[in-house]
């Protein structure tokens, strides 16, 4: 049996670990982006959260959105039925297709991904605060 809380914690550590210890401004940007993404995820779901992370245009958000997207999608790929391949976080069309076809097609998987992403984003917020 897989420990999903540990997977969420490891993913959050990877996201926060992508910041250099001296990058306090990026830590604040990551905290803000994770907070907003968590709100979108809770209110509108996995597809909307994915769209939100691809729609960030400010320079600060772009720097932290890439690692955040990549790690969340990699986590979701491990939860998808049949062990889906990891989607390149830079390709929005492929990521949205992955979410639509591999995650949204199965309600149990979709709800599982939503729950694990919520936990991961909470850990990211705390990790970013600790880093900053």
Q: Tell me 2's DSSP state.
A: -
Q: What is the dihedral of CA 79, 98, 12, 58, to 10 degrees?
A: -170
Domain interval for residue 118: 4-131
**pLDDT at residue number 18:** 84
Alpha-carbon span 108 to 46, nearest angstrom: 13
CATH number, domain of 117, equals 1.10.520.30
**pLDDT at residue number 25:** 81
pLDDT in tens, the chain (132 residues): 689 999 999 999 999 988 766 677 888 999 999 999 999 999 999 999 999 999 988 888 888 998 899 999 999 998 887 766 666 667 888 889 989 988 998 899 999 999 999 999 999 999 999 886
56, 42, 101: which is closest to 76 by C-alpha?
101
Alpha-carbon span 65 to 34, nearest angstrom: 9
Task: Give pTM, 2 decimals.
Answer: 0.91
- Map tokens 């769209």 to a residue: 51
Inter-residue contact 19 to 30 (CB < 8 Å): yes
CB atoms inside a 10 Å sphere around CB 105 = 12
The count of domains in the chain is 1
Q: Return phi, psi of residue 96, to 5°.
A: -70, -35
**pLDDT at residue number 83:** 65
Alpha-carbon span 13 to 85, nearest angstrom: 21
């Amino acid at each position: 049996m897989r420990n999903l809380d540990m997977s969420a914690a490891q993913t959050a550590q990877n996201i926060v670990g992508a910041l250099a210890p001296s990058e306090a401004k990026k830590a604040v940007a990551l905290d803000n982006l994770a907070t907003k993404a968590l709100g979108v995820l809770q209110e509108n779901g996995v597809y909307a959260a994915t769209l939100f992370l691809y729609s960030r245009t400010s320079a600060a958000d772009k720097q932290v959105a890439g690692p955040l997207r990549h790690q969340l999608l990699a986590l979701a790929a491990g939860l998808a039925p049949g062990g889906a391949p990891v989607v390149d976080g830079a390709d929005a069309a492929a990521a949205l297709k992955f979410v639509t076809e591999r995650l949204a097609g199965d309600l149990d998987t979709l709800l599982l991904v939503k729950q694990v992403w919520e936990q991961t984003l909470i850990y990211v917020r705390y990790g970013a605060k600790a880093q900053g």
